[in-house]
Homo-oligomer: A and B are copies of this chain.
């Protein structure tokens, strides 16, 4: 007997028929003799509706300006979507003879930080739920939500149900976490761009984390991080075609064939800021990035040119497009203290990354990337590397071309 966590996203539970289909998948897993905890999202569209209500009612009367609602109340409103799905799935399971009960975040409890709207899971107490599983009940858990200090309802931010599922699997000490979604696994790259993209049978925790954080949308970054941290074997598979097998996210020791590059990710949500002729002195980085951190801006890639005269240099960094205006304001507000000559911005850039644990053992992997892009006439604006990935910033218009060329260069195309 194994203990399995299953997760179904919004499109998988979009209406009552789909919820019934999910109930059948859960029953099948339980009929194999397994204990099952299911994590569900809100029915597709519900969260958007609730968020829209919330934004609209937050506007002061007579004003057209948008206003931020109290994030604690936002969480109360939005968390109701998963509550409904969890209850409905429990009823649907009952209708086919499977004993089941729903669990809200506060009932488990799934304890989170107090950063409402994007809370972090701090711990899952699996005791009560394990007792319920031992009684033969399926546990249906409302995803995306938890309980913050002082018993307030919290949510994990959009897409947080993946994270809920992995955290529940870890809290229950489950044998596996199956993430059912509308695609049938993790691909070598986005199949909408590269028709020859291949589904990966296995991918390591570390690679999945890089893929997710570098733009692959199939699993949430935070979920990949938790899976890695707690070594939760996680499968990604299709709700509508589960027998296809999906992708197993696992320990790299469990992966036999380690190609230099496993996958290629890209992100269009990039903007570049360049400060020209800043003083080349100690403390200049702190003068720039301190105010950005205070403004809540996440800086991604950074490159500083070598100073030609030892006095002035240029500095370039990237942020998400949504944070561009905030970043520019923070820089301009500190213009005197930083002392740049000119401030440039470019929101027509994109980031393309190659990821692979095999990279560590294969020298020259980055060189192949640079040569391939050069052959296509694509200029690299910024480079950033880690042990298992290389990312480059290029003009957005070249994204498809770059991804296709790299996919082929690293021999990832399906036979």
Contact = CB atoms under 8 A, between A and B. Distances in A.
A92 interface: yes
Interface string A74-101: 1011011001101110111011100001
Nearest to A153: B104
Nearest to A85: B77
A376 interface: no
Contact of A70 (B19, B54, B74, B94): B94
Interface stretch (A57-65, A246-254, A329-337): A57-65
Contact of A76 (B70, B102, B152): B102
B80 A76 contact: no
Contact of A74 (B86, B87, B107): B87
A58 B41 CA distance: 20
Nearest to A49: B84
A61 to B, nearest CB: 6
B19 A57 contact: yes
Contacts of A152: 107
A50 B91 CA distance: 13
B53 A73 contact: no
A84 B73 contact: no
B69 A77 contact: no
A72 to B, nearest CB: 7
A88 B94 contact: no
A72 B96 contact: no
A86 B86 CA distance: 20
A396 interface: no
B76 A95 contact: no
| Interface footprint category on A | 35 or more
Contacts of A153: 104
Contact of A95 (B19, B59, B87): B59
Q: Identify whether the interface residues of A are mostly helix, strand, loop, or mixed.
A: helix
B151 A107 contact: yes
A68 to B, nearest CB: 10
B54 A69 contact: no
Given A57-B19, A80-B80, A83-B83, A91 B104 contact: no
Contacts of A96: 60-61
Contacts of A54: 87-88, 91
A58 B23 CA distance: 12
Interface of A: 16, 19-20, 50, 53-54, 56-61, 67, 69-70, 72-74, 76-77, 79-80, 83-84, 86-88, 90-92, 94-96, 101-102, 104, 106-107, 151-153
A274 to B, nearest CB: 39
Contact of A91 (B58, B86, B87): B58
Given A80-B84, A84-B77, A102-B76, A69 B91 contact: yes
A213 B20 CA distance: 40
Contacts of A80: 80, 83-84, 87
Nearest to A151: B107
Contact of A73 (B69, B77, B94): B94
A91 B74 CA distance: 8
A33 B153 CA distance: 30
A16 to B, nearest CB: 5
A283 B101 CA distance: 44
A77 B72 contact: no
Contact of A69 (B53, B56, B61, B94): B94
Contacts of A19: 57
